[in-house]
A = this chain, B = another copy of it.
């Protein structure tokens, strides 16, 4: 969840939403409208320092100084199966990654299923098998579950909400508010694969494209980075809904820094770039499910980059930019033609039901 503007964080009762009275698809975009809904509607009544931190997981202290990262993600992707993955793999990886983005070791997941009456059991079996394959790869256990059934027409096949718990090793101090001027920004690989793969899988485009979702558990990649240095990794975040642009804006805002990225350094696979060009999409705003952004001390950036490149899902990692003092809360991009442009957060809805 996003950080809260100061005027809202102090309120203890829900505020009116003067400009909207009904939920629209854009409220699920992960971009500005989602942030607005969260800041205005969810945070005021539920306000507490853990939620307000606005990171991918809540970080809590339990007895004897053990820190836990706790996260949740509802998954409503359509279609349920797409090249490179399915809703089951997505549900496991999405939550594993949110926990890992706090530098935590994900250990346990829960899964709540909402099934539509009439769902084929064989399809559900495939989804559950896929969850187990992903859980095994990540090294986590699904330790609790719940199943509800709703009447035909009241869900779209099935929805899965996963939650995850992990322990944060001593010395790790990662969060969206911890980027510092001078830090280096690393991206673990090409962007836009997941969003485009799901879009193409819907079969509504009138053309085919060979794009696979990147959906993957990133906890082993994070572990490799932490083996290089625990204290020098300041921010980790996976650019899912809203894409890289939205994630970088969240960090710039939370850390009150300026972020500069270099267009020529940002990897986009040719097939993804081609689909984006046809449809008028900017890959900076397209969802990823197996990529992360790491903001790290300049002094150790090369070593951390090498450690990422040595892992399964990080072979194509690159440095894409740096953190500056100014302009605060802004993301700038140096374009391939030499100009500089502001990169804003996703404003409305680009691709509904992407995760």
Contact = CB atoms under 8 A, between A and B. Distances in A.
Copies in the complex: 2
A154 B151 contact: no
A41 interface: yes
Contact of A131 (B46, B108, B167, B352): B46
Interface stretch (A67-75, A190-198, A251-259, A330-338): A67-75
B159 A125 contact: no
A155 interface: yes
Interface in A82-133: 98, 107-108, 110-122, 124-125, 128-129, 131-132
Contacts of A20: 121
Contact of A110 (B23, B70, B125, B147): B70
Contacts of A14: 125, 128-129
Interface string A230-250: 000000000000000000000
A155 to B, nearest CB: 6
B147 A60 contact: no
B118 A22 contact: yes
Contacts of A161: 72, 74, 112, 114, 146, 161, 163
Interface in A14-46: 14, 17, 20-28, 34, 37-38, 41-42, 45-46
B116 A46 contact: no
Contacts of A141: 48, 50-51, 60
A63 interface: yes
A17 B121 contact: yes
A188 interface: no
Interface residues of A, number: 84
Contacts of A23: 115-121, 124, 149
A122 B71 CA distance: 26
A262 interface: no
A37 B124 CA distance: 11
A28 B149 contact: yes
Interface string A171-194: 000000000000000000000000
Interface string A46-76: 1010110000011010111010101111111
Nearest to A143: B58
Contacts of A144: 1, 50-51, 57-58, 70-72, 98, 163
A13 interface: yes
A280 interface: no
Contacts of A111: 72
Nearest to A153: B153
Contacts of A76: 114, 148, 150, 154
Given A72-B146, A74-B112, 13 more contacts: A23-B124, A28-B150, A41-B125, A51-B143, A60-B108, A64-B64, A74-B113, A114-B114, A146-B161, A155-B155, A159-B159, A161-B161, A161-B163
14 contacts: A14-B128, A23-B124, A41-B121, A45-B131, A45-B132, A48-B143, A51-B143, A57-B144, A60-B143, A60-B165, A63-B167, A66-B66, A112-B112, A150-B159
